[in-house]
Amino acid sequence: MADTETIRADSSYLAAGANRYSAASDWSAEGVVAFGSNANVCLWNPQNPRGISSILSQHTGHVKAVKFLPRLEGDDKTILISGGDDKVVRAWSVSPRDATASYLQAVEGHAEPINCIAALGVTPAGAPTKRIFATGAADATFRIWAHNSAANEEPFKLLQSVKTTKKFIPLALALSPLDDEANGIVLAVVGTTNAVQIFTAGASDLEFTLQATLPGHENWVRSLDFIKEKTEAGSDLLLASASQDKYVRLWRLHQGTALSALNNATGLDLSVSLTPGNKIHKISAGGTKYCVMFEALLLGHEDWIYTARWSRTADGKLLLLSASADNSLSIWESDPESGIWITGARLGEVSREKGATTATGSIGGFWTGLWSPAGTTVITLGRTGSWRRWDYNPSDDAWQQTYAISGHTRAVTGLSWSQDGTYLLSTSSDQTTRLHAQWTGNGTDSSSSGSWHEMSRPQIHGYDLNCTATLGPTSSFVSGADEKLMRVFTAPKAVAKMLSYLTNSKIDMSFAPDAADMPVLGLSNKAIDNTSSERQPESQEEEEGGLSQSNFTIPAALEATTTHPPFEENLSRHTLWPEVEKLYGHGYEISCLCSSHDGKIIASACKASSLNHAVIRLFETDKWTELRPPLQAHSLTVARVRFSGDDELLLSVGRDRQWVVWGRSGTGYELVQQMQKGHSRMILDCAWGPAEEKKRVFATAGRDKLVRFWVGENKEFGLGGEMKEGEPVTAVDFLPEVTTEGKMVLAVGTEAGRVMVVTLGVAEEGKVEVVRKAVLDKGLWLPGTVVQLAWRPKTAEQDEKKRELAIAGEDGSLRIYEVEVQTRW
């Protein structure tokens, strides 16, 4: 056994869907976006077309809140604070240059999940500047912390813990200095109540006390944000509060008396301002008196408002960005003459499908809205976990949409490369199948060439998807879900043309329909042969009820002249693949499937607890009929089936701890060898080694923490060796080719998230020797189980000394690592 060594790998592609919490994302002053994704924190620079740069794994529960601390003079890195369902505050040191980070420490204190974080830089009189931040949690408390960068001081110190009055759960916090000298600090707190609570503290003692409760909202308040009204000294402070009552309220905080505040509020009706509902609240901080009064009510959204965030343009004009469940972003600005706040721009969903219940209709609202540091870009998050982005074009005075990033929102359960390596299909428990490809063709520039993107969303389903397989050299695939049947899809011409153009590849379109559409109440994607015409209603009831999505046309973004990957609304609506066949026969949910390398046979299995259901069913792809009888040998669920490289043998492994090899017989397969005690616990995965002239090799991975290698001649296999790990091994895959020295390369993934690349040699007597065992650097591990591994087939563009490995994670992430293949391999 070779010694274990650690190797680095480059991240070619990282994809992860964002968590749908309004506080789970933040945009730093240096241009880095941090957002929660399952139990991870992802870093992304929207100006970098290569997408997510780092996935940070330390949390053990969903991340619900992230916040960058203000960067102080002399800092070369930024501190990022995150919190979530694991009740722990975690700190990271982020490098703005390459959007990477290192873990600092965990800070405990809350008894329930953390929902929100606010941060501020404070400069007490005669003292150096320090950073404070507040965390709010479901234990109905918020806590004030101080971060000290001095080497001789504790990095994070709890300053105060406050129980909310009326015991509501904080959902949003906002911190701001009250004056130019920062002698006083204000903290606004909102949550599962319809009031905004105002706390203040002196900069020297940092002891917050409740000063005022601002009524007005009629439902829970979701978001808060402070900004100075003007850049001049002595300017008032404005607070925006966004609520589930569909309104944004603006509040003015003024230093001085109520009368001076009214005089300062330009365009304000004095009689309205002094009504009981608009009471002026007197507060104090650091020995100075202030007053708080209602400023404006912003009407326009039709559903809950999740976030409201301020930005200031280069000429000093204030803009407010609000994100709502009505699928729109609104950019508000104050009319210079009347002082009335109006909608300057409205972005997002403005179509006839708005509010539809179909998977391809409503996008489920926008959960957050963020400004870039310069205020020239906005991004927002939808139900699918994907980001949308708009850039301001000053020449047209308009906001133009551009491509952003996307990813699965739940566990990635299956992977399959196209036979030529052009694209990768992934299935997930989020009920989608997604196609990822490298942008190497037209429309790219030096910065975006070679970047990976989601290019199509072939399947949006009503069941959790478990597995997928591409069908040989064709542009078709089959998928299995938590249902008894399998569905076969083929690429429509609209998507195939786009893929060919963007990936500089050739995709067969000879038998492809023009596009696909999904009925509102259906699960099957219907082929559309003439995209300029309407899809005909399937029934009189559908026609009368108006359920068809009429006038379906191929959008310009999918035409062959496109210059960028598709936007999210096109991914979720116009890149579906038509379903061409259903394959029946299984009695329970599909557990695994695969297709032969020539694409002529599909092998599949379902969840089972008896011999009758633990069968492998074979389907031929010419007439889509089952090849009977089914292959019967297992007694429990079959976990994985794999065809050998020449399709002569079929290997199956299962929860019954045995592996079975089946050999080709006529048009089907028959039992060749059965090893009933292949492992001491269930076998979770298997893989065939590259084809040799005399010996065949396959590997099995089990919950008994072993990888076993089986070597055979003339279809008889024996144990050639094994490799012991410290945790259950959940995924294995061989590189399709042997190295120049005749060695085999095996990728191994474990339940703990470790990924290894193992070099194997086979001796004449049939023994398998581990020549080299390399573990990827710990920063590249997954926080949970590695569900599946898949090497990318060799392509002409690839470096001869590097190969790409796709990794499906239980954490919802899809990763492609570029691993160096050394010449001695």
Q: What is the pLDDT of residues 496-521, one digit of tens each?
A: 888 988 888 887 766 677 777 776 65
pLDDT tops 90 at residue 93: yes
pLDDT tops 60 at residue 726: yes
Higher pLDDT, 699 or 1: 699
User: Phi/psi of residue 431, each to 5°?
Assistant: 70, 25
Share of the chain above pLDDT 90, in %: 71
Cα separation, 736 vs 793, in Å, equals 7
Side chain identity at residue 178, one-letter code: L
pLDDT one-digit tens code per residue, 97-120? 888 999 999 999 999 999 999 999
Cα separation, 303 vs 247, in Å, equals 9
Cα separation, 624 vs 391, in Å, equals 48
Residue 354's pLDDT is what?
44
Lowest mean pLDDT among 143-147, 151-155, 166-170, 413-417: 151-155
User: What are the helix (H) ranges across 226-346?
Assistant: 258-264, 270-273
Ordered by where they begin, the domains of the chain are: 1-16+678-824 (2.130.10.10), 17-258+278-323 (2.130.10.10), 324-405 (no CATH)
Instruction: Judge whether 198 and 220 are in contact, CB under 8 Å.
Output: no
Cα separation, 159 vs 59, in Å, equals 24
Residue 738's pLDDT is what?
85
Q: How confident is the model at residue 257 (pLDDT cuts 50, 70, 90)?
A: confident
Chain centroid to CA 81: how far? Answer: 19
Instruction: Judge whether 394 and 445 are in contact, CB under 8 Å.
Output: no
Bridge pairing between strands 4-7 and 768-776: parallel
Percentages of the chain per state (helix, strand, coil), in multiples of 5: 5, 50, 45
User: Phi/psi of residue 276, each to 5°?
Assistant: -55, -35
pLDDT tops 70 at residue 549: no
> Six-digit token pair at 448?
């975006």
Partners of 108 in the β-ladder = 88
Higher pLDDT, 789 or 448: 789
Direct distance between the N- and C-terminal alpha carbons of the chain, in angstroms, rounded to an integer: 16
pLDDT one-digit tens code per residue, 393-409? 999 999 999 999 999 99
Give CA separation, 427 vs 19, 386, 409, 594, in Å: 18, 16, 11, 14
Residue 756's pLDDT is what?
96
Sign of CA dihedral 769, 771, 776, 777: positive
pTM: 0.92
pLDDT tops 80 at residue 136: yes
Q: How confident is the model at residue 356 (pLDDT cuts 50, 70, 90)?
A: very low
Give CA separation, 262 vs 214, 266, 270, 289, in Å: 17, 8, 7, 15
What is the rounded average pLDDT of the residues 29-41? 97
By CB neighbour count within 10 A (0-12 exposed, 13-18 middle, 19+ buried), where does 150 fall?
A: exposed
Cα separation, 749 vs 739, in Å, equals 21
> Six-digit token pair at 626?
């089952």
Asked, as a colleague might, if the bond just before 629 is cis with ω within 30 of 0, I would say yes
Neighbours of 398 (CB within 10 A): 11
pLDDT tops 70 at residue 805: yes
What is the 8-class DSSP label of residue 779?
G
Strands in 215-271 per DSSP E: 221-228, 237-243, 248-255
Side chain identity at residue 45, one-letter code: N
- What's the angle, vertex CA 707, arms to CA 38 and CA 60, rounded to 5? 20
pLDDT one-digit tens code per residue, 261-273? 555 554 444 434 4
pLDDT, mean over the chain: 88
What is the rounded average pLDDT of the residues 567-578? 89
Side chain identity at residue 312, one-letter code: R
Question: Which residues, other chains included, contact 20 with Cβ-Cβ below 8 Å and sequence gap of 6+?
Answer: 367, 381, 383, 385, 409
Bridge pairing between strands 25-27 and 802-809: unpaired
pLDDT tops 50 at residue 541: no
* CA count, 13 A, side-chain hemisphere, 23: 34
pLDDT tops 90 at residue 29: yes
pLDDT one-digit tens code per residue, 215-242? 999 999 999 999 999 999 889 999 999 9
pLDDT one-digit tens code per residue, 301-346? 999 999 999 999 999 999 999 999 999 999 999 998 888 999 999 9
Chain centroid to CA 627: how far? Answer: 39
pLDDT tops 90 at residue 766: no
> Which residue in 784, 803, 778 sits closest to 793, CA to CA?
803
By CB neighbour count within 10 A (0-12 exposed, 13-18 middle, 19+ buried), where does 779 fall?
A: middle
Q: How confident is the model at residue 259 (pLDDT cuts 50, 70, 90)?
A: low
Give CA separation, 179 vs 200, 202, 315, 663, in Å: 12, 11, 22, 80
Nearest-10 Cα torsion for 56, 58, 61, 65: -60
User: Phi/psi of residue 148, each to 5°?
Assistant: -110, 130
> Which residue in 690, 522, 545, 669 sits closest to 601, CA to CA?
669
> Which residue in 158, 172, 183 sits closest to 220, CA to CA?
172
* CA count, 13 A, side-chain hemisphere, 511: 6
Cα separation, 255 vs 237, in Å, equals 9
**3-state class of 557 per DSSP?**
helix
**3-state class of 780 per DSSP?**
helix
Instruction: Judge whether 606 and 652 are in contact, CB under 8 Å.
Output: no
**3-state class of 389 per DSSP?**
strand
Residue 181's pLDDT is what?
79
User: What are the helix (H) ranges across 234-335?
Assistant: 258-264, 270-273
Residue 822's pLDDT is what?
54
Cα separation, 402 vs 412, in Å, equals 26
Q: For the CA atoms of the chain, what is the radius of gyration?
A: 29
Bridge pairing between strands 515-517 and 368-371: unpaired
Cα separation, 25 vs 402, in Å, equals 19
